[in-house]
A and B are shown apart, each in its own frame.
Chain A
Amino acid sequence: MSTMTFGRAINAGLRRAMDNDPKVVLMGEDIGKLGGVFRITDGLQKDFGPHRVLDTPLAESGIMGTAVGLAYRGYRPVVEIQFDGFIYPAFDQIVCQVAKLHYRTKGAVKVPLTIRVPFGGGIGSPEHHSESPEAYFTHTSGLRVVSVSNPQDAYVMIQQAIASDDPVLYFEPKRRYHVKGEVDESVDLSSTSMNDARVVTEGSDVTLVTYGPLVPTARDAAIAASDDGISIEVIDLRSLAPIDFGTVEKSVRKTGRLVITHEAAQSGGLGAEIAASITERCFYHLEHAPVRVTGFDIPYPYSKVEFHHLPDLDRILDGVDRALGRPNSLSPHNGLEG
């Protein structure tokens, strides 16, 4: 066990993947000498050389398309997208090529790409640097989408993503890069699956489902709620496509109440998918309609107001109150006064 930051854990995972498989190559803008704008690839070009860690021209479609070509040639590229909001030039290559080549060729061509995307807000940045575009990709068949919430998962799941023969989008909560945690580097990668959700905090009254940057917030909300005698079960999805609905269903059958929280906008988002799927699976166990606590349906706002947009502990607890039928911000007489 060693203590390391989230960012360092991804770096260590990348290093181990590169050590284990000479076909693993990293590609991206500024990832070589600079080590990436977030330093996630720090030192890797120095140790593995410019053929394994490629600084690419500044063109996301170009990066993604050449990564596909490298995959054709038997490589296992790991692409870094500098910020969430810059993935769109590569959208066509991701959706039309990365996601579909395996299907198109009846499995003859494998595309074991890993696409690393620092995502989410809360860092006081201008437009395009704080987005949560995961639902575009969870809606695209052929892709796997994961998001990590702690250094241990970050370390393990980056390696599992790289080892997967399917393309994986790996969403990194950039505002948590500096969070420290214990990482067991000796862990056996096959002892866990990135497809499985994880129960972070056990509880009996409400199931609170989230992923990525909001997992620590949800955990804090559970601690705060316990002071009021409310027991929240927090689930970290880890995999966003496919979602481990089995774990969520099991929890909701126990609690009868479901709250979903994510930074991404609400409409057509993952919360809708989770609410619909869980309602289909265990309608008769639900005591209340599923509740979503999400970012608004707005372009990511400027930094001085971003905290309004981002679900925080209080908004999550307000959603929990709604699911429990307790007085909340939307109650007829609000219920909060006096």
Chain B
Amino acid sequence: MPSNDQTDATRDELIQLITPNGERRSNAAYDPWVADVDGAALQALYEDMVVIRRIDAEATALQRQGELALWPPLLGQEAAQIGSGRALREDDFVFSSYRENGVAYCRGVDLTDLLRVWRGNASSGWDPYAINMATPQVIIGAQTLHATGYAMGILTDGADSVAVTYFGDGATSQGDVNEAMVFAASYQAPVIFFCQNNQWAISEPVRLQAHVPIARRAPGFGIPSVRVDGNDVLACLAVTREALDRARTGGGPTFIEAVTYRMGPHTTADDPTRYRDANELEDWAAKDPIARLAGLLDSEGLLPAEVSDAVKATADEVAARLREGCISMPEPAALDVFKHVYSEPNSWLERQQDHYEQYLTSFGSSEEGGR
């Protein structure tokens, strides 16, 4: 049980329920949180992870083929995202960064919506209220404050839902993340700080951001924290459920550090060979989140060929839908640039739009004019 007066030693302990070799490890504190997770549930988590890895690979391919301008891969972080994402209730609200496509998948995002931003067709992919997840934040750390404010609103409303914010190890250096923890602690807001420490912030290693395990910071704010093996989907599910329960029952915020690894580049525009050692990738590949759950399932006879084949078929079908949604996305119209800047009429913008419309019309139709 994480608590405010835990020692550094217990705080640094990495919660793990499945070893890298795929063995179930017992943990008196956290086993109860996943006591209901039976074979079928484990298979479902496995399918989720395989599917989002497939989505990730397909999107990366779409970028290589020129269909997307950019893509931020989540390869290696599937367990952290699925384990936490599947712990949430529909009325919880997620405020994430750009890499949490796995979490969005758990929220039920429409596949095409994952790509709109990266194809350059929109500034965000979906209506946040449709899936109770804010659209991904690009300003590092800014969303942690939005989650905290949202959670303050939950408190005032007397509701028992929870705001969950995702951010990276690099983000923990931002003032906003630290201010968010101050506000969350001060108001005892029902918010979970879910930090995916994937060891890298573009080319900067985590030791540049923090000299102690990141989870140790939160107790300084009066927020209980826990370090979890971020490549262990069951452990991530367990710690998130515990934190959600604390938040729902008036216990305030929790900080979770999910220790994981970004196996791919920062984005498709990045070249990690310039700053990191190939051996490191090999070490982490041995702790792969999907392989480890497959190992556990296999050892329990839960991954016969028909199951793994069916999962693969599902993943391929999802990838095909993703691709289709991408290439058939309608192009935005010229005058869309002026839409939604304000919710009420604005004389400055109306004049500029009017002038630009006239300019476009001088070429012919306002929709195809100009360029």
Contact = CB atoms under 8 A, between A and B. Distances in A.
Interface of A: 25, 51, 56-57, 59, 61-62, 64-75, 89, 92-93, 96-97, 100, 102-110, 141-142, 144, 164-166, 195, 241-246
A242 B346 contact: yes
Nearest to A69: B149
A96 B142 contact: yes
19 contacts: A57-B179, A62-B145, A62-B179, A65-B142, A66-B146, A66-B148, A69-B148, A72-B146, A73-B150, A92-B139, A93-B176, A96-B142, A97-B139, A102-B340, A105-B124, A107-B339, A141-B349, A165-B343, A166-B344
Contact of A68 (B145, B156, B343): B145
Contact of B123 (A92, A93, A104): A104
Contacts of B180: 62, 65-66
Contacts of A141: 341, 349
A68 B153 CA distance: 11
Interface in B328-371: 339-344, 346-349
B163 interface: yes
A70 B139 CA distance: 19
B193 interface: no
Contacts of A75: 153, 156
A61 B341 contact: no
Contacts of A103: 123, 340-341
Interface in B135-163: 135, 139, 142, 144-154, 156-157, 163
Given A69-B163, A102-B341, A245-B347, A56 B183 contact: yes
Contact of A69 (B127, B145, B346, B347): B145
B98 to A, nearest CB: 13
Contact of B343 (A25, A100, A104, A166): A166
Nearest to A64: B145
B182 A62 contact: yes
A242 B347 contact: yes
Nearest to A52: B156
A147 to B, nearest CB: 17
A57 B153 contact: no
Given A61-B176, A74-B153, A105-B128, A69 B147 contact: yes
Interface of B is mostly: helix
A88 to B, nearest CB: 12
Given A69-B149, A70-B153, A59 B344 contact: no
B343 A102 contact: yes
B250 interface: no
A103 B148 CA distance: 22
B197 to A, nearest CB: 22
B152 A108 contact: no
Contact of B183 (A57, A71, A92, A246): A57
B175 A61 contact: yes
A59 B343 CA distance: 28
A315 to B, nearest CB: 29
B325 to A, nearest CB: 18
A110 B348 contact: no
B341 A142 contact: yes
Contacts of A68: 145-146, 149
A49 to B, nearest CB: 10
B4 interface: no
A245 B352 CA distance: 14
A114 to B, nearest CB: 14
